[in-house]
Structure 1
Amino acid sequence: MSETFHEFVVQRSAALSRTAYLLTGDHQLAEDLLQSALARTYRHWRRIRGGDPEAYVRRAMYHQQVSWWRRRRVVERLAPEPVERGGGDHADTTALRLSLVDALRRLTARQRAVVVLRFYEDLTEAQVAEALGCSLGTVKRHGHEALRRLRDFVPDLVERLPERSAR
């Protein structure tokens, strides 16, 4: 294994794993997705190591996720409310997290990818367009539609968000 590739994997795996989870919504699928993307990255390491290999891995994860999604075409039936398991009330943050995860799962794969890269990875719209291999207008359209759908799925989302300290 290339020394520089090994260093890249050690340094960036945790962040890439979180992105993979947000794209898939499942820990095991996220591990498979990241492994697949890293294998593809390794095959092309000589060509991409001088550029931005993390963007390459993100793009590979996105494309692989879309490919899996197209093959599966499993119709999910989502409950209108998250299923409560076990005793007692959950904390507000847990309820908010469940609502967000449920809402993210209801987005299309491309909308979810735009939201994850734009707001979780904190990339600019131009960086998201580059990572996904699409135009800036496409990113804006999918982002706008995703946010509209998220507001529909979780209408009280803004009121339920924890207060952020001033930066």
Structure 2
Amino acid sequence: MNGTRHEEFRAYVAERGTVLLRAATQLTSDRGEAEDLLQAALAKTYLAWDRIEDPSAVDGYVRRAMVNTQISWWRRRKLDVYPTDRLPDRPVDDDHAGRSEMRDVLSRALRRLPERQRIAVMLRYYEDMSEREIAETLGVSVGTVKSTVSRGMTRLRELMTAS
């Protein structure tokens, strides 16, 4: 990569890093994992930087890399992670200071969803992907996507009304 392209990439990361980290945090629900996820996605983007011709497509490329990486990680550790009814205490991030109460409630409710439901809901409503696109991304049927999103939204409603 020549110096100019390298500087373009650095400028992109400096400009969009915070927004991309927020998206990664919503996918993982853990700040540390989100940072790892974003770093992995940016490494893939860096390697493909010369092939990305449309500057407006870079965010989409990074987000797709994050989703694909998260799915890969999820599949790899699927057998190692056992959900529980009790959530661990989490430190309060200074990042939440400006959020509205509703956004905070939604964020907490999303973190309480099972990972597969959370990813499906995030792809559907945060990334505005169609059910078919989500099915292709997750490697499942459209029916599975519909039922997963439906169960996730039902659970979100329950969690938000209980808060």
Taking only aligned residues, the RMSD between alpha carbons, in angstroms, comes to 3.4
Partner of 2:26: 22
Please state if 1:33 is matched with 2:43: no
Kindly tell me: are residues 160 and 97 of structure 1, through their superposed partners in 2, closer, same or farther at Cα, counting changes over 3 Å? farther
Matches within 5 A, 1:50-61: 50=54, 52-61=57-66
Counterpart residue number, 1:100: 110
* TM-score, normalised via structure 2 length: 0.68
Residue 74 (structure 1) aligned with residue 77 (structure 2)? no
- State the aligned residue count: 144
Once the two structures are superposed, the pairs formed by residues 75-90 of structure 1 within 5 Å of their partners are: 75-79=81-85
Q: Counterparts of 2:76 and 2:138 in 1: how far apart (Å)? A: 22
Give the Cα–Cα distance (whole angstroms) in 1 for the partners of residues 9 and 15 of structure 2: 10
Matched, 1:125 2:130: yes
Q: Which of 59, 64, 68 is residue 69 of structure 2 equivalent to?
A: 64
In structure 2, give the amino acid aligned to 1:64: T
1:145 to 2:151 alignment = no
Structure 1 equivalent of residue 46 of structure 2: 42
Gapped regions of structure 2 (runs ≥ 5): 91-100
Distance in 2 of aligned mates of 1:134 and 1:98 = 24
Shift of the 31–143 alpha-carbon distance from structure 1 to 2, 3 Å rule, reads farther
Q: Partners of 2:61 and 2:8 in 1: how far apart?
A: 15
TM-score, normalised with respect to structure 1: 0.67
Aligned with residue 158 of structure 2, among 138, 149, 155: 155
Q: 1:151 Cα shift? A: 0.8
